[in-house]
Amino acid sequence: MASEEVRTGRFADRVAMVTGAASGIGAAVARQLAAEGARAVVLADVNGDGAAAVAEGPPASRALALDVTDAAGVDSAVQDVLHRYGRLDILVHAAGADDPEAKQRIADAAVEGRPVELTDSLDDASWRRVVRVNLDGTFHVLRAAVRVMRPRGAGAIVVIGSSSAFDAPVGYPHYAASKAGVHALAQAVAKEVIASGIRVNLVAPGPTDTGMAARTPEALRSTFADPRVRPYATPEEISEIALFLASDAAANLGAVLLANGGRFTA
Ligand SMILES: NC(=O)c1ccc[n+]([C@@H]2O[C@H](COP(=O)([O-])OP(=O)(O)OC[C@H]3O[C@@H](n4cnc5c(N)ncnc54)[C@H](O)[C@@H]3O)[C@@H](O)[C@H]2O)c1
């Protein structure tokens, strides 16, 4: 679309960046930002082709291939937003990694009616991959965003954590630990940067129907069934919460919002 076109909506005139935007929650957030008037939405994902496919539909959207474990790459991507659009108003960090092999082992144990035994055989590479993407990646993204937002004295950052940080799943210690680290990191940064006009909030989803959920074996998915709540949230439901936190309506909020259908409270 022409850059001079006037766009209206909750995010009119905002410049936004979304990580993990090729799929699931990040894709829903990017679409919603564009639909609600953002002047520019940068869709970043290690899956650059996937991000490009999502960016084809909504207006004002641009995709780029970005691995959040690459600190220098994250910095230059965020600096590029600054150079192109003059500022970064909103950053939603939804990039994250699961461990399908561990999930399969949990599912196998459930099917065979035996306890999960994972920790003693969890290899270093699996541990490092999950922690690098989820925790190191969040640090890189938060740092890069604060570097460009602090000089302007404004900005809204929303991090997608996980209910696993509160209710650590058996057989998933690396994921739970990485997300607990993400929560603590986001909260510590939030308390620091609020003095510079930057809000950092976090959504902790429960089971949500995304690419990550599609990699969860059915035998494990069925263990999340709870008659009190719908089986899985939609990515759009989580996106709605994330974008409430990014919006002016949440100006007085500093929150870790648990979005798990009321399975438990924190
Ligand atoms: N789906 C759930 O049930 C659920 C529950 C709690 C938390 N979460 C969290 O929500 C966030 C979004 O996940 P989702 O459910 O939409 O899953 P998803 O797999 O659909 O999307 C995650 C996206 O992150 C991208 N990504 C992975 N590693 C990356 C990297 N190194 N650099 C950049 N991008 C990378 C993937 O390519 C993918 O597009 C994640 O942080 C996830 O941990 C999901």
105, pLDDT greater than 60:
yes
Q: Cβ neighbours of residue 196 under 8 Å, at least 6 residues apart?
A: 146, 149, 150, 153
Please give the pLDDT value at position 4.
53
87: in domain: yes
DSSP state of 81: H
Q: Is the CB of 257 under 6 A from ligand 1?
A: no
In a domain, 1, yes or no: no
pLDDT in tens, 208-261: 999 999 999 999 988 877 888 878 999 999 999 999 999 999 998 888 999 998
Please state the atom number of ligand 1 nearest to the C-alpha of residue 211: 20
Q: How far is CA 33 from CA 7, 67, 242, in A?
A: 11, 22, 11
- Pick the atom of ligand 1 nearest to 68's CA: 32
Query: How many domains are there within the chain?
Result: 1
Contact 198, 181 (CB under 8 A): no
- Give a yes or no: residue 6 inside a domain: no
- Positions annotated as catalytic residues are 175
Residue 88 in domain: yes
Instruction: Kindly give, in sequence order, each residue whose CB lies less than 8 Å from that of residue 107, ignoring residues fewer than 6 positions away.
Output: 216, 217, 218, 219, 220
Question: Following DSSP, what letter does each residue of 215-257 receive, concatenated?
Answer: TS-HHHHGGG--TTS-SSB-HHHHHHHHHHHHSGGGTT---EE
pLDDT for the residue numbered 50:
98
In the chain, what percentage of residues exceed pLDDT 90? 87
Tell me the CATH number at 174: 3.40.50.720
Distance CA 266, CA 257 (A): 9
Asked if pLDDT for residue 3 goes beyond 50, the answer is: no
- Residue of minimum CA distance from atom 23 in ligand 1: 20
Residues paired with residue 233 on neighbouring β-strands, in sequence order: 208
The beta-strand segments (E) located in 46-177 are: 61-65, 90-93, 155-160
Instruction: Report how far ligand 1's centroid is from the alpha carbon of 22 (Å).
Output: 9
In this structure, is residue 74 part of a structural domain? yes
Q: Is residue 25 part of a domain?
A: yes
Does residue 257 contact residue 238 with C-beta atoms inside 8 Å?
A: no
| Ligand 1 near 95 CB (within 6 A) | yes
Q: Give, for ligand 1, the residue of 18, 19, 25 to mutate: max count of ligand atoms closer than 8 Å to Cβ.
A: 25
pTM: 0.97
* Binding site membership of 169 for ligand 1 (Cβ less than 6 Å): no
Out of 124-138, 194-208, 211-225, pick the least confident: 211-225
Ligand 1 in contact with 178 (CB < 6 A)? no
CB distance 135 to 185 below 8 Å: yes
Residue range of the domain that includes 227: 15-259
In a domain, 265, yes or no: no
**Residue 237 CB contacts under 8 Å (≥ 6 apart), including other chains:** 208, 259
> Which atom of ligand 1 is the closest one to the Cα of 47?
37
Task: Tell me if 100 is assigned to some domain.
Answer: yes
At 101, list the tokens: 């092999």
